[in-house]
């Protein structure tokens, strides 16, 4: 078993995101926008899940690797409001086929180019922690619900077979 050597804690989330190429030299967005989902988040980076590894005919990973002026621009809608958008630049550090998915999706590891103390990362961290807290809460309720009949049965058995 290998130990996790990450510099920051990861949080499992489901944050919708829009991805595009951004040319730092020309200071312009290039190409189309690709919808995806952030599945793991830390203040240093994230795991992105997308249906295709190509955007406007260009490979998400290799385009950024081949040209250091090109980065990925991530747009997050806060509170589901198009007026509240957080933009974070990132570079892909790995990609792979998501073999666990039925949809033939791709996973892309991202490194954020924004300081971990930036307002954007702080807001995303709060969103991610809220999302994880909600997920943990849902799972706890789910397991309590599943185990409640077992609890009742064991109480009945250990009380000598009486229900009171």
Which parts of 22-117 fold into alpha helices (H)? 60-66
Region label for 161, one of left (φ > 0), alpha (ψ between -120 and 50) or beta (otherwise): left
| Residue 146 maps to a domain | no
| pTM score of the predicted model | 0.72
Query: Is residue 1 a part of any domain in this protein?
Result: no
β-pairing, 11-23 with 28-42? antiparallel
Task: Say how many domains are in the chain.
Answer: 1
Query: What's residue 69's pLDDT?
Result: 97
Strands of 43-162 (E only): list them.
45-50, 54-55, 58-59, 70-77, 85-97, 106-112
Domain encompassing residue 34: 11-136
154 inside domain: no
pLDDT score, position 152: 54
Residue 24 belongs to a domain: yes
Residue 6 resides in a domain: no
d(CA 36, CA 49): 6
**Residue 34, strand partner residues:** 19
Q: What is the pLDDT of residue 62?
A: 96
CATH of the domain at 68: 2.40.10.220
- Domain-located, residue 129: yes
pLDDT for 4 equals 52
Which pLDDT tens digits describe the chain residue by residue (164 residues)?
A: 445 555 556 788 889 999 999 999 999 999 999 999 998 998 899 999 999 999 999 999 999 999 999 999 999 988 766 678 999 999 999 999 987 777 789 999 999 999 888 888 888 888 877 655 544 444 454 455 555 555 555 555 555 555 55
């Amino acid at each position: 078993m290998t130990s996790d050597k990450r510099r920051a804690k990861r949080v499992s989330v489901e944050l919708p995101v829009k991805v595009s190429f951004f040319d730092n030299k020309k200071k312009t967005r290039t190409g189309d926008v690709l919808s995806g989902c952030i599945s793991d988040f830390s203040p240093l980076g994230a795991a992105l899940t997308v249906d295709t590894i190509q955007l406007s005919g260009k490979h998400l990973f290799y385009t950024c690797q081949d040209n250091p002026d090109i980065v990925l621009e991530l747009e997050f809608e806060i509170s589901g409001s198009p007026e509240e958008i957080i933009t974070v630049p990132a570079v892909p550090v790995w990609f792979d086929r998501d073999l666990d998915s039925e949809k033939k999706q791709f996973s892309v590891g991202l490194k954020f180019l924004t300081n971990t103390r930036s307002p954007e990362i702080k807001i995303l961290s709060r969103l991610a922690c809220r999302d994880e807290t909600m997920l943990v809460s849902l799972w706890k309720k789910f397991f309590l619900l599943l185990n409640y009949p077992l609890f009742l049965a064991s109480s009945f058995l250990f009380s000598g077979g009486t229900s009171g």
